[in-house]
């Protein structure tokens, strides 16, 4: 089964100030600017095995970091920039429409950097349901508890997206319930597009402009998505973080996704478990409780940690950055710069370790 990684990293200069990627985006077709100037995205091509995914991801990062060194820039593996100046978007018609519909809540998205894992479509209904059931695994990569200097949650990025950005349009930005068929998922997408279009028209946007910039495939920002690209089922819940941690999660997620092709997948009770011949998902309401704990408490929640262990994750093997930088109610802009510089250097060291091993 093919799989790939997308990760967004903040770009900073030698003083820790947010800056633009510049010529970093010219390295290959697999790197590009994101929708805000200081954010940079790296995408691996589809890889058939985890070993190929690992080597491709590490080699691409090494190439980018070599160029970043030449430009006196660093890539920062944090879910938010912690604190600092106001971030603006690159101008686009799509963003303009989103801002009119979502209002000021849309601004929260400008401070979020995440990791997306793609898996080739196979047993799509099972894939969608299993990824929904595994959504609490976002806690394994929580990498910033801060937004604009204030502590908001163990996983600030997930909190901002789910609780703030799409607060008034929860079905467009929060986890969806399990499905019985792909057609059921597609009907949900059609309804979300209709709702968004109606809201845009009510906000004074021409309907043709909405239709030119949004489709049912891309009108939602839910943690689990069906994508026409590759084509894949995408899980986009975790934060950006250190590459070794992303790879660990990609390997363990991939193991579960491979297993569902020869295991029975069913929903039952409130515990959940992955065994050799069965993947048991908890009732959806229970998953939502685990997700809330994953966002607010992370791995400090014993319920989340034990649930993830039952679902096949080696929880002790993870070291969420949030645990290392948490502990203050407020981080000043200067302290945030120091954190960004420290973790930019740690990302370089992390890639060097991956190269050696």
pLDDT per residue as tens digits for the range 7-30: 999 999 999 999 999 999 999 899
Kindly state the DSSP code that residue 83 receives in the 8-state scheme.
Answer: S
Residue 229, pLDDT > 80, answer no
Determine the pLDDT at residue 58: 98
pLDDT tier for residue 128 given thresholds of 50, 70 and 90: very high
**Domain extent for 205:** 3-356
CATH of the domain at 11: 3.30.590.20
pLDDT at 85: 82
What total number of domains does the chain contain?
A: 1
Over residues 72-101, the mean pLDDT reads 94
pLDDT for 220: 94
Q: With a cut of 80, say whether residue 172 has pLDDT above it.
A: yes
pLDDT given for residue 216 in this prediction: 92
Tell me the per-residue pLDDT of 262-318, one tens digit each, with 9 for 90 and over.
Answer: 899 999 999 999 998 999 999 999 999 999 999 999 999 999 999 999 999 999 999
Q: Which long-range contacts (CB under 8 A, 24 or more apart) does 203-207 make?
A: 203/100, 203/101, 204/100, 205/97, 205/100, 205/101
d(CA 135, CA 272): 13
Q: What pLDDT was estimated at residue 217?
A: 87
Specify whether the CB–CB gap between 185 and 226 falls below 8 A: yes
Kindly tell me the burial class for residue 8, based on how many C-beta atoms sit within 10 Å of its own C-beta (0-12, 13-18, 19 or more): buried
Judge whether 154 and 143 are in contact, CB under 8 Å.
no
Which residues, in sequence order, are CB contacts of 104 under 8 Å at separation 6+?
none
pLDDT band at residue 33 using 50, 70 and 90 as cut-offs = confident
pLDDT at 230 over 80: no
């Amino acid at each position: 089964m093919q799989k790939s990684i997308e990760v967004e990293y903040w770009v900073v200069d030698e003083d820790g100030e947010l800056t633009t990627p510049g010529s970093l985006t010219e390295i290959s077709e697999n790197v590009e600017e994101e929708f805000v100037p200081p954010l940079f995205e790296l995408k691996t091509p589809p890889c058939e095995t985890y070993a190929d995914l690992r080597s491709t991801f590490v080699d691409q990062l090494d190439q980018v970091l070599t160029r970043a060194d030449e430009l006196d820039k660093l890539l920062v593996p944090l879910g938010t920039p912690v604190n600092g100046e106001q971030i603006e978007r690159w101008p686009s018609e799509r963003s303009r429409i989103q801002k009119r519909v979502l209002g000021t809540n849309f601004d929260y998205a400008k401070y979020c950097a995440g990791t997306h894992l793609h898996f080739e479509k196979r047993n799509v209904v099972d894939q969608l349901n299993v990824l929904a059931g595994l959504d609490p695994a976002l806690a394994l990569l929580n990498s910033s508890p801060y937004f604009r200097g204030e502590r908001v949650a163990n996983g600030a990025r997930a909190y901002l997206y789910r609780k703030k950005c799409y607060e008034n349009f929860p079905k467009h930005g929060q986890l969806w319930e399990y499905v019985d068929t792909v057609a059921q998922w597609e009907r949900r997408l059609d309804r979300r597009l209709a709702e968004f279009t109606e809201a845009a028209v009510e906000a004074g946007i021409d309907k043709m402009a909405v239709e030119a910039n949004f489709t049912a495939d891309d009108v939602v920002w839910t943690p689990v998505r069906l994508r026409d690209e590759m084509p894949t089922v995408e899980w986009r819940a975790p934060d950006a973080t250190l590459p070794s941690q992303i790879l660990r999660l990609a390997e363990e997620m991939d193991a579960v996704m491979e297993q569902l092709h020869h295991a029975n997948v069913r929903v039952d009770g409130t515990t959940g478990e992955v065994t050799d011949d069965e993947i048991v998902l908890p009732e959806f309401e229970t998953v939502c409780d685990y997700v809330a704990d994953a966002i607010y408490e992370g791995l400090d929640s014993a319920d989340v940690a034990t649930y993830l262990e039952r679902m096949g994750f080696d929880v002790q093997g993870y070291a969420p950055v949030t645990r290392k930088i948490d502990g203050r109610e407020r981080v000043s802009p200067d302290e945030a710069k120091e954190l960004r510089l420290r973790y930019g250097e740690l990302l370089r060291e992390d890639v060097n370790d991956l190269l050696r091993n």
